[in-house]
A and B are shown apart, each in its own frame.
Chain A
Amino acid sequence: MLNTQIIKGSHIEIFSNKTLILEECYGMVDYRENYIKLKLKKGFINLLGTNFLISEFDNNRIVINGNISSLEFCV
């Protein structure tokens, strides 16, 4: 069990390089064919890849499917 009192911030789940689930997403800063930039509580997350499909985006939750080639945190 993770102690959420200690680890604060966005909850990110990644399934292989195919699916990314991000909770506590504060918006989409940039959305292009091979690039997505998402805003976190502190900083940003950059995704590079191909065939991106956002299957869900509401209530601070985003689910992205596709071929993710790189994931970068900008804090």
Chain B
Amino acid sequence: MVRNPADGITRRGIVGSVGAGAAIVTLASLNPAQAALLPEPQSKTTTDLVVIGSGLSGCVAALEAVSRGARVIVLEKAPENRAGGNSLLAGGGFAMPKEASEAARQAFVEDSAAVCRNRGNAEIFRLMADHVLDDVAWLTENGATVMPPMDWPPHRVSIAFAAPGMFQGMPRLLRTLRDQIVAKGGAFAFETKAHQLIMNDRGAVAGVRAVGRDGVADYLAKSVVIAAGGYAANPQILEAYSDPNAGALMVRGIDWATGDGLTLGQQAGAGLRGMGGIMALHIAAVDPVETAAGNPAAALPYCLSINRDGLRFIDESLGYVAHGKAVLGQPGQSVALIFDEAIKAISGPATAYATFQRLGMPVVEADTLEELATRIGVPTEPFLRTVRDFNAAVVGDAAINAAPPKAALAHKIETPKFYAFSPLVPGVTLTFGGLMINTKAQVLEADGRIIPGLFAAGEGAGHVFFHDYIGGSSMTNCLVMGRIAGQQALA
């Protein structure tokens, strides 16, 4: 945290404020390392709002603010051709209530809470339920194309994907938002990394000190929105908060999501929430090379997941994050997702199959279950017994007596050909912990005090989710809370 020179704080004052125990410090008395931390900025820019991060929440916050007539600058540490943050890799679905009724909104909130084991953020789930339909319409008013909502079993919610489809639409959606921000007078500073927040004499955040291609640059503003994403690519944070071994996990998301927003906020006194344990990580079992689109999430609830011993180990209908975390505990941390010709004809599995085919990812095929066992490299007898026992337990839509039980979307594996997405291995997609915020996206200290002028939204703010989430609700969080941050930052 540095003080805002515009408020009459001298360089000597800055030094005194950060030099622990220093009564009177002059520049001449600084050693080179200390002086290097207090450079004169190469440039100073005054604006209304600075947004840190060019992912969905950052772009939405910026577009909302610029649409209200504010001057906005978006800082992004990545180069322009890597704009978009972790949102760029997202499936691009917005989870939403099935209709604009209170009953449908309540169902969205209840299912979101249940998936998060009732330890997610109920207030933010409510905001998402109340705002997402209007906010998706707002995206389309701003030039984005979002496909019609479809059912998203087993949850009582719908999902609408950015066009042209799942794992296809986010690059275009984000480019549309960037173009719209610039068309309305906003600006982007790429390859410009926010390093410190600037505080004024009233204790409010009043800007950002960044380092860009031309050196240190100060951006002075009435408000700052931190939308800098999560920390999946920061082994230090993962090892400290998630698990001593978590630093070795494969990163599915962008490899520059290093929790910079958390560091910035903490310098200003912000509290963190929801950081502890594997519960704070989104983990999915995916293709080991095509780690983003190689996620057969839409097929998983209909399939059987088989470990290296040829055994099932989880209720596949619980969804792909619960599944991904369960894979961490399986031998070799590698599994196969098996299905048959009849399941392949269902729309979810058909979509996943088509994606794997298009991208040249392996889909194992076999005429018999014995051949499938050989091709996915598991012992034949235990595998055949697993399938036989499961098929015998299927009653209607469920297999309650299977071991482990399957609560929904149970289909017998009996119609050749037989298929498998194999191997699938676990990787971290995104992280759930973040800066403490309230329902106005204001950043809070650990004791609940509001830090004036500082707002946060998106993956690194909340916390919102715990253990798991409904696929597409992270995009919904970025959209709804990003827009609220853009509104409140001008209030």
B partners with A = no
Which B residues have a C-beta under 8 Å from some C-beta of A? none
Which A residues have a C-beta under 8 Å from some C-beta of B? none
